[in-house]
Structure formats: C-alpha cells, structure tokens
Copies of this chain bind each other. A is one copy, B any other.
Amino acid sequence: MSIRPTKDVLTDALLDITARHGLERVSVRQVAAAAGVAIGTVQHYFPTKDAMLDAAFGEVVRRIRARVSNLALGPDVRRNLTTVLRELLPLDEERTTEVRVQVAFAARAATSPSLAAVQAGILAEVSESIAEALALAGRGDDTPEELRRKARIALAAVDGLALHAVSSGSWLDAAALTDAVDQLIDALLPTRGVSGSRATSPAP
C-alpha cells in the first residue's frame, strides 16, 4: 500500500488517464482500476464529475506553481517573464496533459457556477502575478490599470496559444509557441532604443 494520501493517488491516476484519452472520457471505473482501489473509494473522494475535474485542475495549478517557483530566474526580468509564461504552454507531455485538463475544466466551468468561481480566482491570481512581472520588466510608464489590462491580454494569448496547440494537431509546434510568447511580450512592452530582448533570446 502506498503511504501517499489516497486522494493524491487518485488524482495522479486521473491525470494519467487524461493524458492518454482526454478528460471527457475519464470514468470512475477507469480511475479505480488505474489506482488499484475500489470504485466506491473513487466515489468517496470524487462524488461528482465536477469534483473529479476540480481535483485535476487543482493538481495542475499546484504543479505549475511548483515548477514556476523552481525556475532559475536571472537579472533579465523580461526573459524571466517569458520563461514563466512558457510553463503554461504545452511544450512537453506533462504540460500538454495540464493544458488538456485546463481546457476541459474551462469547458465545464462555462455551465457550472462553482467551477467558474474557481476559474475566476485562478485567472485573477495569475493575471495579478503577470501584471507585477510586467511592471518589473517594463519602462515604468504604465499605470497599474494599464498593467492589469496588459496582463489579461498576455494570459489570454498564452492560454489561447495553448488551446490552439493541443486542439489542432501540428498547426502550432513548440518553436511557434515560444516565438509567439516572445513576440507577445515585445508587443506589450516595447523597449527603449533597440529591441534587444528578442535578438538575445535563445531557443527554448
């Protein structure tokens, strides 16, 4: 028996199945089989599909936070910003699964007020963090309200890119995604003099 909390084991199983088949097709039976527990155990922790989605989404948010807090950030705040935003893009298998969960969560939140409230809280929090990063990386001539607006656009663009990438096969590859994020930040934060940030940005 695992010494990890059962709910964590179930959530991991949930994300593994999601990676392979998509969250929409996840069932209580599959999660129980993958986690090696009884169906009743899954139903105890996830009494509804919304509860399952909520757990998966919460785990995705936790993982992204953990990765961001472990990033090696340097003195170039603009580069730090693009580095952090890349954690939201489906640039590897792990992040692709996360994006799928986020998209499924968003789709369901459109008709579930309780999930919508969770989504609004996360969007507000991430958007606020981006606004702070934009303030650090910019020239200091944006008002707090302008920074908030730019942050909303940046978060929407990054989530939109992630959505397009996971849903369109090969229409957007990793290079196109990272390039888009670099260009996005350049567009939102025009630099003084030469546009050095892109010229010196390395490949992902």
Size category of the A interface is 35 or more
* Residues in chain B near residue A172, CB distance under 8 A: 152
B-contacting 9-mer, from A35-43, A58-66, A72-80, A195-203: A195-203
A22: Cβ under 8 A from any B Cβ: yes
Cβ 8 A contact of A193, one of B123, B171, B197 = B197
Residue A14 is within 8 A (CB to CB) of chain B in the complex: no
CB-CB under 8 A from A155, the residues of chain B are 160, 164
Contact (A166, B110) CB under 8 Å given A155-B160, A158-B160, A160-B157: yes
Which residues of chain B have C-beta atoms less than 8 A from A120's C-beta? 168-171
Q: Collect the chain B residues with CB atoms within 8 Å of residue A158's CB.
A: 156, 160
B171 contacts A161, CB within 8 Å?
no
Mask: chain A, 141-168; 1 = CB below 8 Å from B; 0 = not = 0000000011011011111110110111
CA distance A149 to B198 in the complex (A): 14
Complex partner residue of A153 from B21, B109, B180, B197, CB under 8 angstroms? B180
List residues of chain A with CB under 8 Å of any chain B CB.
Answer: 21-25, 99-100, 103-111, 113, 115-117, 119-120, 123-124, 149-150, 152-153, 155-161, 163-164, 166-172, 176, 179-180, 183-184, 186-188, 190-195, 197-200, 202
CB pairs A–B below 8 angstroms (7 shown): A22-B108, A153-B184, A156-B156, A158-B160, A183-B200, A190-B198, A198-B200
Known contacts A150-B183, A156-B157; 13 further A-B pairs (Cβ under 8 A):
A103-B106, A107-B167, A117-B169, A119-B164, A119-B169, A119-B171, A152-B180, A156-B160, A157-B157, A160-B161, A163-B163, A190-B198, A198-B200
